[in-house]
Amino acid sequence: MGCSLALTLVSFLICLFQFTPCASSVHPLCRSDERLALLLFKDSLSVNKEASADPFAYPKADGWKFQGVDCCYWDGIECDHNTGRVTALDLSSSCLYGSINSTSSLFRLVHLRKLNLADNDFNSSEIPSGLGNLLMLTYLNLSNSVFSGEIPLQISWLSRLTSLDLSNEVDLECPDFRSLIQNLTSLKHLHLSRVIVSSPLPSILVNLSSLSTLDLSHCGLLGELPTYIFQLPNIQFLDVSNNLHLTGTLPATFSILIHWNSWMLPLANSEDRCHRR
Ligand SMILES: *[C@@H]1O[C@H](CO)[C@@H](O)[C@H](O)[C@H]1NC(C)=O
Ligand SMILES: *[C@@H]1O[C@H](CO)[C@@H](O)[C@H](O)[C@H]1NC(C)=O
Ligand SMILES: *[C@@H]1O[C@H](CO)[C@@H](O)[C@H](O)[C@H]1NC(C)=O
Ligand SMILES: *[C@@H]1O[C@H](CO)[C@@H](O)[C@H](O)[C@H]1NC(C)=O
Ligand SMILES: *[C@@H]1O[C@H](CO)[C@@H](O)[C@H](O)[C@H]1NC(C)=O
């Protein structure tokens, strides 16, 4: 006992004086420029209890000042264990209120792989085109956060995205759905519920072969629901409900969970035409 304690103490002292990482469990501190970027981002917004709908929401970023100098241990942050770079920022349901634009320090965090700002109130500002800088993103969730205007095409640069959720925004428009998704060929989850798409579904959707969840409810879709949508090899959940001008045929053989306009349930009559005129 005493011996191993002494040994631990010795190796601790060696570490201390050599300033080297002592064990694989010790990872580098977060970088000061990234810590600063996080603090500036937090300070550019205010906290407002009304800004989040989740009953368990709390101002996560408020605790940062008590959580030490290493931002990797702050609430909502994850870092790369080898480099100390910030790779995930989850400030969903954090009562954040205010506008963000592309000059935000948020867009200096270029190693982010996961960004979740869902369920806050960004004061009807536009989704900042600066998101297009975050080329490592695989997960982006801005759902229910009071963005408005047009979805910037810079989102289409994020070709590593596997999950994109912009749903339930009040006045968000997607004027060019085809261009938005044409590069996003890794997407598994695409949630655009209530985003104003107002066009037919583009045939390029067939190239999103990893797609397993597609929520395009309340999107003002037009034209005919293309049948290839049922042939997407990994599709498991499809919600195209509440698109009053969408018509289409359900294939006789399909085993996916489909949320359609409730009037056409049950799905046993799957060969019925299901227009809504
Ligand atoms: C919210 O948006 C309005 C209108 O653009 C603006 O005047 C106001 O300063 C914004 N408030 C905050 C906190 O960003
Ligand atoms: C962007 O937002 C910052 C505050 O976060 C503000 O000082 C700046 O004027 C804004 N820039 C533009 C172009 O709106
Ligand atoms: C986005 O965040 C909201 C709120 O936290 C959550 O309910 C939703 O499932 C998330 N979407 C995805 C695709 O993870
Ligand atoms: C698609 O992605 C490639 C590389 O990721 C990029 O060079 C190109 O500009 C992107 N195109 C669009 C329309 O976003
Ligand atoms: C799907 O992708 C392939 C190769 O990337 C491309 O040649 C084809 O035109 C795309 N399909 C559609 C419908 O755009």
Question: Among 102, 108, 101, 94, which residue's Cα sits nearest to residue 30?
Answer: 108
Is 104 touching ligand 3 by the criterion CB < 6 Å? no
- The model carries a pTM of 0.84
pLDDT at 276 over 90: no
- Residue 139 CA to residue 89 CA, distance in Å, equals 10
Q: Could you please report the per-residue DSSP string of 115-158? A: EE--SSB-TTEEPPGGGGG-TT-SEEE-TTS-EEEEPPGGGGG-
Q: Whose CA is closest to atom 11 on ligand 3?
A: 165
Is 157 touching ligand 4 by the criterion CB < 6 Å? yes
Q: How would residue 230 be classed by pLDDT, with cut points 50, 70 and 90?
A: confident
High-pLDDT (> 90) share of the chain, %: 74
For the chain, the average pLDDT equals 85
Q: Whose CA is closest to atom 13 on ligand 1?
A: 98
Counting atoms of ligand 5 from 1, which one is nearest the CA of 206?
A: 13
Across 74-96, average pLDDT: 97
Between 241 and 255, the higher pLDDT residue: 241
Q: Whose CA is closest to atom 12 on ligand 1?
A: 98
Handedness of CA 95, 99, 104, 106 (dihedral sign): positive
Model pLDDT for residues 207-229, shown as the tens digit of each residue? 999 999 999 999 999 999 888 88
Model pLDDT for residues 36-72, shown as the tens digit of each residue? 999 999 999 999 999 999 999 999 999 998 999 999 9
